[in-house]
Structure 1
Amino acid sequence: MMTNQKHLLSFFFILSLAGLGSIQLSMAKEVIRIPVGVVLDLNSSVGAIAESYMTMALSDFYAKHAHYRTRLDLRTRDSADDIVTAASEAWYMMKKEKVQAIIGPQRSAEAKFVMELGRKAKVPIISFSATSPSLSQSRSPFFIRTAFDDSAQVKAIAAIIESYAWLEVVLVYEDTDYGNGLIPYLVDAFQDVGARVPNRSAISLFSSDAEILRELGRLNSTSTRIFLVHMTASLGSKFFILAKKIGMMSEGYAWIVTEGLSTLLDPVSSEAKDSMEGVLGVRPHIPSTKYLKDFMKRWKKANKMTAGPNLFGLWAYDTVWALAMAVEKVGIENYSSMKRNVSTNPASLGTSAMGKTLVETVLSLKFRSLSGNFQLVKGQLEASAFEIFNVIGNKERIIGYWIDQQKGLSRQLKFDSSEAANTDVKRKLKQAIWPGDTTDRPATKKLRIGVPVKEGFNEFLKVEKNNNISGFSALVFFAAVNKLPFPLPHDFLPFNGTYDNLLWQIKAGKYDAVVGDTTIVANRSLYVDFTLPYSESGVSMVVLVENNERGNIWIFLKPLSLDLWLTTGAAFIFTGFVIWVLEHRVNSEFRGPPQQQLGMIFWGESGEQLVKISARNLGFCGSYPDTELHCKFSLNVNSAEIAACIY
């Protein structure tokens, strides 16, 4: 009996241990599902792609981390591209479904309202696509951006403007928080590289085709031909189709698109992409890794699509991974003890006790993500290198990279220090194909140059046929243009009127410059800037020189005419003959052979002239008062010596 009782007790003990083990095993396998809200515009290309990327992110993450005790429970809501709907869906999930975080919303205008709800409820708002610089963690400590701030790209865009030596750029952007938020940063960046914004155009999302065409016509009437477009895909695709329709996608124009449109070229229609032929774009560089290639292969197969990687989709994928890691790090024990503080006010959201810890954990994460390196700085993804691409047909050709502010532009992602000191754009970027299928770089604009039309003296400037110009001022202008490192298209516009009125046309905006023999005076300098003077003003006499006779040994004969020289020679001979006649009889020196007598005729004449010159000189010396000079001349004709002795 005692033996049976012992066996029975042993059986119950073993059974108890087995039951306890099964309970512990069951508890070990139990997972906690963390509700997370997702607010997207499911009818948009970004929303649809992001949802598919996030679905695969959940599957991939928990396949790799099957031992984690937490699971994200994504609850997706459609914002229907409406700010109020996005805010109401976020409020409902915070209030009714007690979500611990919200991924989204998709657009910056929506995020502006939802982040305020998150701040009051202490629920993290994590957006992968709201890139407006006006949104930041400084405005709401519960806002996290797992994407680049739009302002990160302005240095790359400014470097392109500087490399092509464009002096003016027209900004075209959508009239939303997303579009308006970047404009101040662009203007400042352009000023840093010596470019200005003479015109800008804000286009509403609700603009009709006729309204957009009217605005394009206004832009086309200006002289600037360099445009920067900052829009999302929905408006941008329609804009470029209409721009091509009125001939603004032809030779002479240059178009640059920002990251928002550059990252969405795959979803746009083929008609829109055809209209963007020759456009330059800027977008973040995505490292091509084996992990990314494997993901894209699986994604294309699952969704039956052929599009390449979508940047916003990759950021959505990384956001899910980051949030899943953070939830696990917060810990299941902490989550079970964190109860939602619910207010008795029906309109109140209450506050989440988990929110602050979750935000701090997400901000501290660092890991190798699908899009590159995941590391948040000041509440947003740290910027990396940017690609500069050229739309050619249905493809985008990479023509260079912007590495960082110190290294600037480079043809290759691997920086070459020899490129840094080179200012030639051909050494920094590959050859681009511009609108109109040309390799000729578009200029900023055609300068309207006024030239004076006048009668009389035209050597400085003369207006020829077809408004061509010639003359000294024209040659100076053409020489200066040829020295420029970039082309300078221009038109000469003849002007009939005074020089003051001609220069005033620059102030009035009708001309960009004036070429001519204009005088620099004080009152004109009040409204125009002059170049350095290239010719002195004043009255001068110009004598025409037929030929250069500096090397002519007979140049000394030029002061007197031929008749005067002949008369002088004849008088010289006649005087010598008279002296010979008078001296021949009494002076033996004038006798002898004929050649000796002929020589004495000329030499005697020369000696007499020398005596006269010497006498005049001595007479001048004796003109000083209180000075007594006694002179005696001795003339020896044979030895040709003249002596003057002073006693």
Structure 2
Amino acid sequence: MRRLSFFLFYTLASYCFFLVASPVTGDKRDVDIGVVLDMGSIMGKTIKQYLDIGIADFYKVHPNLNTRVVLRVKDSGNDSVGAASAALYLMKNLEVQAILGPQKPSQASFVIDLGTKAHVPIVSFTVNTPNFSPTKTPYFIRTGSNDKFQVDALAAIVENFGWKSVSLIAEDTEYKTGLIPYLDDAFQSVDARIGSRSMISPSADGIEITNELYKLKTMQTRVFVVHMLPPLSYRFFKKVRSVGMMTEGYVWIITEALSDLLTTTIEYPSNSKNFIGVLGVKTHVNTSEDIRFNKKGKYQLNDVDGLRAYDTAQAIAAAVETVRGGNLNQFDHRLNSSNTDPFSTLGLSKNGPRLREAILATKFESMAAGGTFHLKDGELPPPTRFEIINLLPDGWKKLGFWDKEDGLKLNASHDIIWPGDSKKQPKGWQIPTDGKFLRVGIPVKGGFFEFVDATNPQHMTGYCIDIFEAAIKSLPYSVQYEYTADNSSQTPGSYDDLVEQVKKKRFDAAVGDVTIIAKRSKTIDFTLPFTESGVSMLVPVKKDGGIANGWIFLKPLSKGLWLGTLAFFFLTGFTVWFIEHRMNTDFRGNRVQQMGTIFYFAFSTMVFAHKENVVSNFSKFVIIIWMFVVLILTSSYTASLTSMLTVEQLKPTLTDVRELVKNNDSVGYQDGSFVRELLIDQLKFKKTQLRAYKTSDEYFQALTNGSRNGGVSAIFDEIPYIRMFLKDRCKEFTMVGKTYKTDGFGFMFPKHSPLVSDISNAVLNVTQGEEMKRIERKWFGENSWCPVESSSIYDSNKLQFESFWGLFLITGLVSLLSMISFFSKFLYVNSEHLKTSIAAEKSLWGKVSTSMKRFDDKEEEEEEGSSRQMFMNHQMLQNMSAVDTSRDDTPQSATPSGYASHSPPPITSERFFHSSIELIRFK
């Protein structure tokens, strides 16, 4: 404490010494600058101190300048009239060249008008409302923040926590309400909205504030954005705490101006208990050890508005030095002498325009912004960063930042303290605690009571009601509700009437088989759908005794699969022939016989009736794989054809909507349904063709009678109703034709109801779980859906090539690899003969023909030729050996027959070599 007191004394003493010791020459001129502040407030006194320090620091750094700014302070008395009077006095009597202030936005309007008339710049660092624009009033210069710059940071907080609705509470002055349009746009950009607005007068007493809070307490929204300044904000939050709205489940967010004050002034400790758990958006500043202020030794202050005042003082001093020529303290009173305006005696500042331009052009290192002080369009550019703070009993902590480029970044290690000293994130809304139940409207219907039955007001039941109750039970909080039958409609079951009741908030929600369509979504909000979607056509079926379509056997396979199967039949037959025809007589013959063998063998495998035996292991492997493929194809074909033959016996009476329109047939729809508009607007039916029905029994009777007998040829309805109808009538009726897209059934809520998001998530959980199956079994039975549903049954049962491409790939690769392996073996065995044969041919065609003829020859003929050649070679070798022996001089004994009797000498390697040479010569 002594150090702080000493620091203050040292700073002020240095300032006084500087003023006395500074060299004064005839060239240094004093320039009067006016200051309008509420000197009776702590903030006014604080700002004055920062202005003095800013001026002193400037001339301490620049001691040899020719000008000296002299601050002429005038107290506004915390009053708009007082501020105007002070500004008028400073301009008229002291002829100040600029005015710093006023302190509050409510005081600024008249002061700015005076400055504009007198050409005196009005420089303010606290008037931050968007209502005052420097571009519209050129002599108004803003050196503080513009309120509208913070709206994106506020919206980012709301988006981060998933809140969809907020209540705005603002000070009821034109200066504070100027922020509302910018807040509206910012919240809409993050899919949120301002659900309610409360304007509180600065002079409101405790009773008025309490009444407004009780009104807010009865609403669902629990997220409040507060835009006001002291002393109203202190009174307001004191009442917030007293009425029990500073408890768990509530969210309070304060705007920049109040956050800056609460984190810097002496008034927070005395009010801290009223602000615990509040979030705020705070100006991001660079703290500096050079700017410290001590108030009676109680606390240290690094005030945002004070730092802005410090920067403003330096900017004024620099600008005055820039406009130093001539007499700066000079007004020209003659320019307005003939003016009847009572303020014409103010005159015009000769240096005002030049001083304004100099202020706008000033640049230096800012103490408040932490960067360059530079004005653009008469004000500081938008800050790139805001701090997000959390107010605590003993001060405040920084939770993170909102950055223009990166958005909101909260520190995960910092737990947020919410109102009620809770660490659990509030959901942002709750059912009001005024004893009222959620009013749920139920449509009154004349049929299809399985979906919703409101005939007994004391006990409403149905498929839709069970799903709604299951969704409510799965919410992480309790919601009390009561059902009310919608009897307001002249037409029972008219959903459009029910939509209107929800729109007017006569119901808080509506539960029933209500279809989600675009027209309804414009006025109300729907949850996610809980049924499948679409409108289709219901028609009778013909009971044919036989098969009407003689070509039905072609339908089980698609065109692509037929062609692919034929191609692979041929490939398999060709592969077996390619391998077998050189060694197997069953595959020999003339060209026509061999082609016939290829096709016959391939197709006979389909019934495993091929009579040809195969010799090569390659062929056997190919056939085994192909048999497996054929087995799967034939089994699938049989199953598909069986299904089609069964369906063919129940043929729809018609499948094309255009036939109904062309023949002027009558069609039906469910009474009160939107399907009527679809039939007229989209399908182009005439109104005279339409018949409305309420129950499934009426559907049955109308379809049975037919259009010629007072009934209808078809009924159009949503798929859930059609399936319900077909549950026990599959053999008599079917669903055919195109399905017209809808979004299914959903629960209705008023626009922007906070329940929509939570109920949608709950519906999603129910429909994906076992509870949904239990509800369906309860209302529709175990096998609730008809297996025959579409005239496109043939198309749906057709087997596609894509389903078998894996099998075809395997058999194709096996066939190709087998042929390549076999042909490689052939080339290896016959390489010498092929070389000799090809060398003897001169033309390319001759060489190819010779090779093909060799490949077409039977292997037995080749083996016989080779054996014959080997035998001849052996005989020749023996003869040559005998000739060589006869030349020997050794006498030979004669046999009785007269032939030489001797054994041929053994064939040695040398003799075999000579014999081979002779054999080559002989050839």
TM-score normalized with structure 2 length: 0.49
In the other structure, the counterpart of 1:147 is 144
Whether the 8 Å CA contact 2:246–2:419 is kept in 1: the answer is: yes
**Partner of 1:191: helix, strand, or coil?**
helix
CA–CA separation in structure 2 for the residues paired with 1:240 and 1:477: 39
Whether the 8 Å CA contact 1:274–1:394 is kept in 2: the answer is: no
Alpha-carbon displacement from aligned partner over 1:332-379 (angstroms, at most 9, x marks no partner): xx1427742113478421111111111111111221122123221211
2:510 aligned with 1:514: yes
> Could you tell me how far 1:64 is from its partner in structure 2?
2.4
Select between 390-399 and 304-313 the one with higher mean Cα deviation: 304-313
Alpha-carbon displacement from aligned partner over 1:245-268 (angstroms, at most 9, x marks no partner): 000111111010001110111333
**Partner of 1:39: helix, strand, or coil?**
strand
**Cα pair distance change 1:57/1:494, threshold 3 Å:** same
Whether the 8 Å CA contact 2:95–2:329 is kept in 1: the answer is: no
In the other structure, the counterpart of 2:279 is 280
Amino acid at match of 2:504: A
Whether the 8 Å CA contact 1:443–1:488 is kept in 2: the answer is: no
> Could you tell me how far 1:515 is from its partner in structure 2?
3.9
2:332 aligned with 1:336: no
Whether the 8 Å CA contact 1:237–1:268 is kept in 2: the answer is: no
Match of 1:321 among 314, 317, 324: 314
> Could you tell me how far 1:494 is from its partner in structure 2?
1.7
CA–CA separation in structure 2 for the residues paired with 1:470 and 1:441: 36
Match of 2:425 among 434, 438, 441: 441
Whether the 8 Å CA contact 1:123–1:142 is kept in 2: the answer is: yes
CA–CA separation in structure 2 for the residues paired with 1:52 and 1:470: 74
Alpha-carbon displacement from aligned partner over 1:90-132 (angstroms, at most 9, x marks no partner): 1111111010110001111221211111111111110010001
Amino acid at match of 1:293: E
Alpha-carbon displacement from aligned partner over 1:145-186 (angstroms, at most 9, x marks no partner): 110111010111111111111111111000123311111111
In the other structure, the counterpart of 1:408 is 407
In the other structure, the counterpart of 1:541 is 727
Whether the 8 Å CA contact 1:132–1:177 is kept in 2: the answer is: no
**Partner of 2:348: helix, strand, or coil?**
coil
Amino acid at match of 1:244: R
Whether the 8 Å CA contact 2:225–2:254 is kept in 1: the answer is: yes
**Cα pair distance change 1:524/1:329, threshold 3 Å:** closer
Q: Equivalent residues in 2 for 1:603-618 (5 A)? A: none
In the other structure, the counterpart of 1:615 is none
Q: Equivalent residues in 2 for 1:70-85 (5 A)? A: 70-85=67-82
In the other structure, the counterpart of 1:626 is none
Match of 2:482 among 486, 494, 497: 494
CA–CA separation in structure 1 for the residues paired with 2:395 and 2:461: 47
> Could you tell me how far 1:472 is from its partner in structure 2?
5.7
CA–CA separation in structure 2 for the residues paired with 1:365 and 1:155: 29
In the other structure, the counterpart of 2:229 is 232
Alpha-carbon displacement from aligned partner over 1:308-349 (angstroms, at most 9, x marks no partner): 311111111111111011111222xx1427742113478421
**Partner of 1:534: helix, strand, or coil?**
coil
Alpha-carbon displacement from aligned partner over 1:463-483 (angstroms, at most 9, x marks no partner): 9xxx99998647756898999
CA–CA separation in structure 2 for the residues paired with 1:133 and 1:521: 41
In the other structure, the counterpart of 1:396 is 396
Stretches of structure 2 that go unaligned for 5 or more consecutive residues are: 1-21, 432-437, 487-492, 533-719, 729-779, 784-923
In the other structure, the counterpart of 1:634 is none
**Cα pair distance change 1:541/1:494, threshold 3 Å:** same
> Could you tell me how far 1:517 is from its partner in structure 2?
4.5
CA–CA separation in structure 2 for the residues paired with 1:517 and 1:410: 44
Amino acid at match of 1:44: S
CA–CA separation in structure 1 for the residues paired with 2:104 and 2:461: 58
**Partner of 2:219: helix, strand, or coil?**
coil
CA–CA separation in structure 1 for the residues paired with 2:129 and 2:103: 11
Q: Equivalent residues in 2 for 1:189-338 (5 A)? A: 189-265=186-262, 266-288=265-287, 292-296=288-292, 299-300=293-294, 304-331=297-324, 334-336=325-327
Amino acid at match of 2:357: E
**Partner of 2:365: helix, strand, or coil?**
strand
Amino acid at match of 1:279: V
Match of 2:347 among 350, 360, 366: 350
> Could you tell me how far 1:307 is from its partner in structure 2?
4.0
CA–CA separation in structure 1 for the residues paired with 2:256 and 2:120: 29
Match of 2:105 among 102, 105, 108: 108
> Could you tell me how far 1:194 is from its partner in structure 2?
1.1
**Partner of 2:45: helix, strand, or coil?**
helix
> Could you tell me how far 1:65 is from its partner in structure 2?
2.2
**Cα pair distance change 1:34/1:479, threshold 3 Å:** farther
Whether the 8 Å CA contact 1:339–1:353 is kept in 2: the answer is: yes
> Could you tell me how far 1:198 is from its partner in structure 2?
1.8
Give 1 or 2 for the bigger CA radius of gyration: 2
**Partner of 2:194: helix, strand, or coil?**
coil
Stretches of structure 1 that go unaligned for 5 or more consecutive residues are: 1-24, 413-425, 547-647
> Could you tell me how far 1:223 is from its partner in structure 2?
1.2
CA–CA separation in structure 2 for the residues paired with 1:215 and 1:438: 25
Amino acid at match of 1:230: H
Amino acid at match of 1:495: Y
> Could you tell me how far 1:382 is from its partner in structure 2?
2.2
**Partner of 1:381: helix, strand, or coil?**
coil
Whether the 8 Å CA contact 1:446–1:490 is kept in 2: the answer is: no
**Partner of 1:49: helix, strand, or coil?**
helix
Amino acid at match of 1:443: K
> Could you tell me how far 1:234 is from its partner in structure 2?
1.1
CA–CA separation in structure 2 for the residues paired with 1:492 and 1:96: 70
